Amino acid sequence: MSNSNKILVGIRASKLSVAQTEIFINDVYKQKNIKNNYEFEIKTIKTTGDIYKNDRLDRIGGKGLFLKEIEEHILNDQVDIGIHSMKDVPAVEVNKNLEIICWVKRTYKNDALISNSGKGFFDLPSGAVLGTSSIRRRAQILNLRKDLNIKLLRGNVDTRINKLRKGQFDAIILSLAGIKKLNLDDQITEVLDLEYFLPAACQGAVGVQAKINSKFRKLFDDINDLKTEIECISERNILNIIGASCNSPVSVEANIDKEELTINVELFNHNGKKIYKEKFIDRKENYIQLTSSIGKNILDSVGKDAIYQLGELKDDFDYKAKSRV
């Protein structure tokens, strides 16, 4: 690059991507060496997932479609780094020449419900229309309330909220972290309890991606959040071991408290039946061995073929409510 002190950042063309990138840059600039010697320039990149914004993600290639073009820009030296919502990054690394070099501190893992009526999830009336694009959330809703209608909802956070307010839905479920980063806290009706809505792996986490062995890993080392890194690598390792895709109804949540690592895992079938639920505890330094053991436990309990089948929802995503018995 003509200016060696300019760092080009590739991100999705969305308000949320811009917001979390600004959070990252503000954190980086707390390091005087970087603030005095480096300048960031943001380049927004339209990804395949953004272009096909009305289609089911599992039918067009999964959540990895939100980073494919950004990764190509990094590999072609069009940008230096990419910043991703790690929930959208497949657990199986596609590009071996790229790596996550920095983990931004994760704050919120929960899902949140926004409803037009102001009623929480369990108080929504039978037949209410609930919007989501997540196969995991779809399965969790069906596990708890088959008397609700489920309707596919795609688009950025503000687009989804606008569709709700226009009456296309009675309520929608979004990531709490995304809502918070956009300062839309006043829209939240209810923060959903992890007991009922255990999150997807890496939900709420942001990672910085660059070429293998680039100078940026060392440059950003002081702001890398080790707690977030270990928790998220643990969650991703489990998905990788069992062969679950971004579209599988699988929830994995790792949490470090002092020296202890706790990992909760749940798997559902597409009809909402919970087919696996376990909690594991070990010391945090044993996270690699622990996640290997968890992966084996899941495979032994559920079966590799059954997990593979969870990667595809053959039914229509939209679900028509059944009456409460």
**What are the residue numbers of the active site?**
88
Under DSSP, is residue 128 helix (H, G, I), strand (E, B) or coil?
Answer: coil
Cα-based angle 108, 109, 114 (whole degrees, multiple of 5):
85
Burial class (CB in 10 A: 0-12, 13-18, 19+), 163: middle
d(CA 213, CA 246): 27
- 208, 81 in Cβ contact below 8 A? yes
Amino acid letter for position 38: Y
Strand (E) or helix (H) holding 81: strand 81-85
Residue 321 in tokens: 């409510």
d(CA 252, CA 238): 8
> CA dist 57 to 239, 308, 311, Å?
18, 17, 11
Partners of 276 in the β-ladder: 267
Torsion, Cα 27 28 32 38, to 10 degrees, reads -150
Backbone angles phi, psi at 75, to 5 degrees: -65, -30
